[in-house]
């Protein structure tokens, strides 16, 4: 048998659909068929995918199928998760006990609030928190959605021949219910801490819950139109109302304004606000649910990708990464900026660069302006002892947006090596503007620590307290932006949740630890010199002079040189430490 006869003969592929008329037209010559055996004939398809009629899809069945997929691929049940997280349950119980004790003390101190200043503070402070919560709700709704879809759903689900409104309606309802429940619990807690009676606690809880849910429904309706300028206007108006209420508390505490507020009228206003929030929730919620099919797919997917990124950062407990994601999204939305030329030379150029950043993004100073009224409001409520700690925490939040360049420098070593300055010099230059603002804050808030109307402390003591409070907030912000993320290459530590990197726990308290260490002696009534010494130690630790990674690198280079000398090889030049 020849090789040609042993070669496997190729067979003509049979198409899925055969036209009988074409088969009838083919010649029945056996010689012609034998000649076509060794030739490959491509199949000819006699149908078109564009002419296929799509079958109708039931959205409820599709949601049920997706839920079954997700539940069927779950590796743990809820009871198993609770058993593994017994440490979290125990921590929640401890936190609830602490909140209960704080509420009990607040209810006991409410009977001692008889002065007009204290009454006005108790009346207006919930309004400050209410307006601030409304503004924060609108910010989150504008950034995330509030109706979102994942990238996978946007890839295959949003292009399917189905009614998008019915598919997204459950998500809208879930978001509204979650916002309403969370805001209700927050409103009840704030009213209880202020010292209100149970009926007033219910009123404030309903006002905050229904109002936040109504604003979220309004944001969902604006999302269907693809616009956000109305949300921004309402957001800034609610923030301005919170600032005006805080300024009113300060003015009454200083004796500049005499204000007598009737609680009955205040209760009527709270009830009216809760009713208005319920009306907004019903009206805007219904209209938004009918228009959910008009939301563009790109808007849904962008919010879903942002949520997934925030979930990943939250899993690592890296709040700095969460802020970086939000800043990046804001920069992408802005698109471009007008470039500006630098000013000065050397370290002065870095300082003026920070001044230009304030000029380019002036809204970063909003939180700093808000923090000016915190010591006055806390003093008006009779909590002057806790004013340094509370004010320093607010300053921590206010100074973090002002230290963005410092965070970039600490994350990019190549950029540091490209500058002809040492690491401490760069850190001081990038923190100079924030340090000047901290000094200005201590000067403007000095009357709050000295005592409005009648002095309660000496001039030197009040000035020192104001300066140490500003220093605590600034150093806490520097600690927050320069802290390193958790290193997953190191050995894990076994906890109740499972394996955890050693540095992951400290990401939750970074910045807060500096506030507690600096303001702790002042809260305990110790000498201010103890806090001054602690501030000096913290400044030296955060200056970048003591870097363990550089020391480890130098030690490894020395070991390599010793090993090369033992082997008789050439001497290696030890690289200088990276600054």
For residue range 93-115, list pLDDT tens digits in order: 666 665 566 556 655 555 556 66
User: Which CB contacts under 8 angstroms, 24+ apart, belong to 426-432?
Assistant: 426/350, 426/544, 427/478, 427/482, 427/542, 427/543, 427/544, 428/347, 428/543, 429/347, 429/350, 429/351, 430/350, 430/354, 430/403, 430/405, 430/406, 431/403, 431/406, 431/474, 431/478, 432/351, 432/354
Q: How many CA atoms lie within 13 A of 419 on its CB side?
A: 19
CB 121 within 8 A of CB 381: yes
Least Cα distance to 326 among 315, 314, 316, 338 occurs for 314
DSSP 156: I
- The pLDDT of residue 528 is 85
Task: Give the three-state DSSP class for 418.
Answer: helix
Number of H helices and E strands in the chain, helices first, is 27, 2
- Cα angle value 225/226/230 (rounded, 5°): 80
Q: Work out the end-to-end distance of the chain between its first and last CA atoms, rounded to an integer number of angstroms.
A: 81
Beta bridge partners of 493: 500
Q: Are 404 and 357 in contact (CB under 8 A)?
A: yes
Q: Which of 164-173, 178-187, 286-295 has the lowest mean pLDDT?
A: 164-173
pLDDT tens, position by position, 489-534: 666 766 655 566 666 666 777 888 888 889 888 888 888 888 889 9
Contact 401, 367 (CB under 8 A): yes
Q: What is the pTM of this model?
A: 0.71
Q: Specify the range with the lowest mean pLDDT, choosing from 261-270, 287-296, 432-441.
A: 261-270
Which range (157-166, 443-452, 468-477) has the least confidence? 157-166
Tens digit of each residue's pLDDT (9 = 90 or more) over 332-370 = 777 777 777 878 788 888 888 888 888 888 888 888 988
Residue extents of the structural domains in the chain: 116-336, 349-484+510-546, 555-579
Length of the chain counted residue by residue? 579
Dump pLDDT digits (tens) for 6-26.
444 444 444 444 444 444 444
Least-confidence region, from 187-191, 371-375, 560-564? 560-564
Helix (H, G, I), strand (E, B) or coil at 498: strand
> Could you read off the pLDDT of 27-38 as tens digits, one per residue?
444 544 444 445
**Residue 454's pLDDT band (cuts 50, 70, 90):** low
pLDDT at 554: 63
Per residue, the 3-state secondary structure of 230-242, as one string, reads: HHHHHHHHHHHHH
Token pair listed for 100? 């209960």
Please give the pLDDT value at position 70: 66
**41 phi and psi, to 5 degrees?**
-110, 120
pLDDT value for 439 = 93
Residues 40 and 10: beta-carbon distance below 8 Å: yes
Q: Does a cis peptide bond (omega within 30 degrees of 0) precede residue 146?
A: yes
Q: What is the pLDDT of residue 284?
A: 92
Distance CA 125, CA 190 (A): 9
Determine contact, residues 146/220, Cβ cutoff 8 Å: yes
Check residue 18 and give its pLDDT. Answer: 44
- Hey, which residues does 494 pair with through a beta bridge? 499
């Amino acid at each position: 048998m020849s090789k040609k006869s042993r070669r496997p003969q190729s067979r003509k592929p049979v198409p899925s659909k055969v036209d009988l008329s074409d088969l009838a037209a083919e010649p029945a010559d056996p010689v012609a068929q034998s000649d076509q055996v060794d030739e490959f004939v491509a199949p000819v398809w006699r149908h078109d995918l564009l002419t296929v009629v799509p079958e109708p899809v039931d959205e409820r069945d599709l949601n049920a199928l997706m839920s079954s997929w997700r539940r069927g691929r779950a590796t743990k049940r809820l009871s198993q998760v609770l058993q593994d997280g017994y440490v979290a349950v125990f921590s929640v119980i401890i936190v609830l006990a602490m909140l209960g004790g704080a509420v009990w003390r607040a209810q006991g101190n409410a009977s001692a609030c008889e002065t007009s200043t204290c009454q006005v503070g108790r009346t207006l402070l919930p309004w400050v928190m209410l307006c601030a919560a409304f503004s924060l709700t609108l910010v989150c709704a504008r950034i995330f959605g509030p109706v979102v879809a994942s990238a996978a759903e946007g890839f295959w689900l949003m292009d399917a021949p189905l009614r998008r409104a019915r598919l997204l309606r459950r998500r809208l309802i879930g978001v509204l219910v979650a916002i309403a429940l969370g805001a209700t619990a927050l409103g009840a807690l704030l009213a209880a801490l202020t010292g209100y009676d149970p009926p007033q606690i219910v009123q404030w809880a309903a006002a905050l819950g229904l109002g936040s849910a109504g604003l979220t429904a309004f944001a969902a309706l604006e999302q269907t139109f693809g616009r956000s300028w109305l949300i921004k206007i309402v957001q800034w108006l609610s923030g301005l109302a919170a600032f005006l209420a805080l300024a009113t508390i300060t003015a009454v505490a200083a004796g500049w304004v005499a204000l007598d507020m009737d609680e009955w009228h205040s209760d009527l206003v709270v009830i009216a606000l809760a009713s208005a929030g319920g009306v907004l929730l019903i009206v805007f919620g219904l209209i938004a649910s009918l228009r959910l099919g008009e939301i563009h797919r790109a808007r849904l997917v962008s919010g879903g990708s942002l949520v997934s990124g925030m979930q990943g950062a939250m899993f690592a407990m890296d709040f700095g990464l969460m802020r970086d994601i939000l800043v990046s999204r804001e920069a992408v939305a802005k698109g471009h900026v007008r470039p500006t030329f630098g000013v000065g030379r050397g370290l002065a150029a870095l300082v003026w660069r920070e001044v230009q950043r304030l000029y380019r993004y002036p809204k970063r100073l909003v939180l700093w302006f808000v923090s000016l009224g915190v010591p006055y409001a806390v003093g008006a409520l009779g909590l002057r002892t806790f004013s340094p700690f509370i004010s320093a925490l607010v300053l921590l939040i206010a100074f973090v947006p002002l230290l963005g360049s410092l965070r970039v420098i600490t994350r990019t070593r190549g950029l540091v090596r490209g500058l002809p300055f040492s690491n401490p010099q760069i850190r001081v230059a990038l923190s100079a503007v924030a340090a000047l603002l901290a000094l200005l804050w201590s000067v403007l808030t000095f009357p709050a620590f000295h005592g409005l109307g009648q002095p309660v402390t000496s001039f030197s003591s009040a000035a020192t307290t104001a300066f140490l409070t500003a220093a605590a907030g600034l150093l806490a912000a520097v600690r927050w932006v320069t802290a390193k993320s958790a290193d997953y290459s190191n050995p894990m530590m076994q906890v109740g949740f499972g394996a955890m990197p050693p540095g992951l726990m400290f990401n939750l308290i970074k910045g807060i630890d500096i506030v507690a260490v600096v303001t702790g002696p002042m809260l305990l009534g110790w000498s201010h010199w103890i806090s001054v010494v602690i501030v000096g130690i913290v400044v030296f630790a955060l200056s970048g002079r003591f870097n363990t990674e550089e020391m480890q690198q130098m030690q490894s280079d020395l070991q390599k040189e010793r090993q090369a000398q033992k082997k008789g090889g050439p001497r290696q030049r030890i690289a200088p430490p990276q600054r």
